[in-house]
Chains A and B, each alone.
Chain A
Amino acid sequence: MLRVAAAVLWKDLKIEMRTRDAVSAAFVFAVLVLVVFNFALGGDTPEMRRLAAGFFWVAFAFSGTLALNRSSAIEKESGAGRALALAPVDAGGIYLGKFFANTIFLMATQLAVLPLFVIFFDVSVPAERIGWFAASFALGAIGFAAPGTLFSVVAANTRMRELMLPLLFIPISVPALIAAVETTSFALGGIDSAGFWFKLLLVYDVVFVTASLLVFEYALEE
């Protein structure tokens, strides 16, 4: 299974390095969302700074679906995904490979958006919480990639892929979304404790990676 995962991960990374489609699309969209928030909600105010974490994750939730969509779109072009799905290899391995790749892409998007986020919302991370900040980003990205990778394949099988992925994925991601916002707020110094949220996010990640892994073979059937 790990061999398969490694092969799929390498393949997805290579494709992305060549085309940079997923990360650039997600990045641009995230920036647009943040900009729109700024204009719609009155620019530079203390409220905005307080809610900064929320804005970030909203932008991420929507732009993330673009990156996730790309993950299954590459498989549909030229039918390559079919050869992959039919290969007598462990479906769980295919899931893991794609999941790791998506997590990396999502984190790359986060890092790309970070400078803009810092500038627009005038936030800074207190030194002692930098580790928590990184953890919040990482766990959040994993939380999105875990069910997202699965649903991306499910949605790709429908007539309206662009609608189905967000529709399926966003309600399911509510716990992760709340937890991500709370943990990032904590990391930015906004609130005092977020122990519960970190734990929830961790549990969410573990539960959904496991569940998606087990169910993935059914999504690959034709």
Chain B
Amino acid sequence: MSAALACAGLTKRYGRVAALRAVDLSVTPGECVAIFGRNGAGKSTFLQIAGSLIRSYDGTVSIFGEDIKRASLETRRAVGFVLHDICLYSDLTVLDNLRFFARLYGVANPEARAIELLERVELGTRAASTIRELSRGMKQRAAIARALVHDPRLLLLDEPFTGLDEISSQSLATMLREFANHGGTVLMSTHDVERAYPVATRAVILERGALTYDRPTTEADLAEFRHAYWTVLFTGNTRGAPTPEPERPRA
């Protein structure tokens, strides 16, 4: 079975700055990968490339075995993304937005699908509110509903926990876990260790465009990971290989 997402030697430069440096990453279907890193480390760039928002880069990126630059429509349908912009029409209601995207993608029974998704992201009561009227957390949930409307197998999320209150965070975490449990693959960028690490099956740290940590979450609990992460942030370790885990504090 081909990797849900695989990149080799991915490099992206913006003039003086190298946002990504020869990143190699392979995500198997069913994984929930969280990419951590400070602001400017390259996380958003990585996701934008994966989502085809940025099209010029060096190296290769493929989705389900196909190079994204030449992927078939069907393969591209398998990807859903939630980015910094919520990508919904401000003047339409949530329900209308979802209906639109459902129709756009040719989903069978767009009405029913829109309603079903609304329920799933717990916005059923706000179906008739326009996007403008929603709070940040609700907008985020609506954006996720949009991302899921065409039944993707790979979900890309850029900083999904930012600006969410506790309750919204919890429901997002639940949704992601559910998605992964049904065979979906999740790839998200975040700097919110507390909320994202428990949801993820694998954690990766990007520092100045290079991968410096890549381990399943089962290998380190939250406290240990936090320690590893802060070590990277404060020492600025930029060597490409995953670093050996720092000394565990002896109990």
Residues of A within 8 A of B (CB): 3-4, 6-8, 10-11, 14-15, 18-19, 74, 77-80, 82-84, 86-89, 221-222
B87 touching A80 by the CB < 8 A rule?
A: yes
Taking A3-B103, A7-B100, A8-B104 as contacts, is the C-beta distance between A222 and B89 under 8 angstroms?
no
Name B102's closest neighbour in chain A (CB-CB).
Answer: A7
- The CB with the most chain B CB atoms within 10 A, among A14, A84, A221, is that of A14
| Partner of A82 from B73, B85, B106, B131 at Cβ < 8 Å | B85
| Partner of B87 from A10, A79, A222 at Cβ < 8 Å | A79
B88 touching A89 by the CB < 8 A rule?
A: no
| Partner of B100 from A10, A88, A221 at Cβ < 8 Å | A10
A-facing residues in B70-98 (Cβ within 8 Å): 73-74, 76-77, 81, 83-92, 96
Taking A86-B51, A86-B52, A87-B104 as contacts, is the C-beta distance between A14 and B92 under 8 angstroms?
yes
- The CB with the most chain A CB atoms within 10 A, among B100, B101, B105, is that of B100
B146 touching A83 by the CB < 8 A rule?
A: yes
| Partner of A78 from B77, B103, B131 at Cβ < 8 Å | B131
B105 touching A11 by the CB < 8 A rule?
A: no
Residues of B within 8 A of A (CB): 51-55, 73-74, 76-77, 81, 83-92, 96, 100-101, 103-106, 130-131, 146
- Return B214 CB to nearest CB of chain A, in Å: 28
A7 touching B103 by the CB < 8 A rule?
A: yes
B103 touching A88 by the CB < 8 A rule?
A: no
Name A89's closest neighbour in chain B (CB-CB).
Answer: B104
- Return B173 CB to nearest CB of chain A, in Å: 24
CA distance A74 to B91 in the complex (A): 9
9 nearest A-B pairs in the assembled complex, by CB-CB distance? A79-B85, A83-B87, A88-B76, A7-B103, A88-B73, A11-B100, A79-B87, A7-B104, A80-B89
B53 touching A3 by the CB < 8 A rule?
A: no
B73 touching A15 by the CB < 8 A rule?
A: no
Prevailing SS type, chain A contact patch:
helix
B90 touching A222 by the CB < 8 A rule?
A: no
Prevailing SS type, chain B contact patch:
loop
CA distance A82 to B48 in the complex (A): 12
- Return A155 CB to nearest CB of chain B, in Å: 20
B89 touching A11 by the CB < 8 A rule?
A: yes
Taking A3-B106, A86-B51, A88-B77 as contacts, is the C-beta distance between A78 and B101 under 8 angstroms?
no
Taking A14-B92, A14-B96 as contacts, is the C-beta distance between A82 and B104 under 8 angstroms?
no
Name B110's closest neighbour in chain A (CB-CB).
Answer: A7
Contacts of B105 in A (CB 8 A): 87, 89
Taking A79-B83, A88-B77, A222-B53 as contacts, is the C-beta distance between A4 and B92 under 8 angstroms?
no
B90 touching A78 by the CB < 8 A rule?
A: yes
Contacts of A3 in B (CB 8 A): 103, 106
Contacts of A79 in B (CB 8 A): 83-87
Contacts of B84 in A (CB 8 A): 79
Taking A14-B96, A19-B91, A78-B87 as contacts, is the C-beta distance between A84 and B55 under 8 angstroms?
no
B53 touching A80 by the CB < 8 A rule?
A: no
Beyond the given pairs A79-B83, A80-B87, 10 more chain A to chain B contacts, judged by CB atoms under 8 angstroms and listed by A's residue number, are A4-B104, A6-B103, A7-B104, A11-B96, A14-B96, A18-B92, A79-B85, A86-B52, A87-B104, A88-B77
- The CB with the most chain B CB atoms within 10 A, among A11, A78, A83, is that of A83
CA distance A36 to B174 in the complex (A): 61
Name A6's closest neighbour in chain B (CB-CB).
Answer: B103
Name A79's closest neighbour in chain B (CB-CB).
Answer: B85
Contacts of B146 in A (CB 8 A): 83
CA distance A74 to B77 in the complex (A): 24
Taking A14-B92, A78-B131 as contacts, is the C-beta distance between A83 and B101 under 8 angstroms?
yes
- Return B144 CB to nearest CB of chain A, in Å: 13
- Return A66 CB to nearest CB of chain B, in Å: 17
CA distance A82 to B147 in the complex (A): 13
Contacts of A11 in B (CB 8 A): 89, 92, 96, 100
CA distance A127 to B52 in the complex (A): 57
- Return A1 CB to nearest CB of chain B, in Å: 11
B87 touching A82 by the CB < 8 A rule?
A: yes
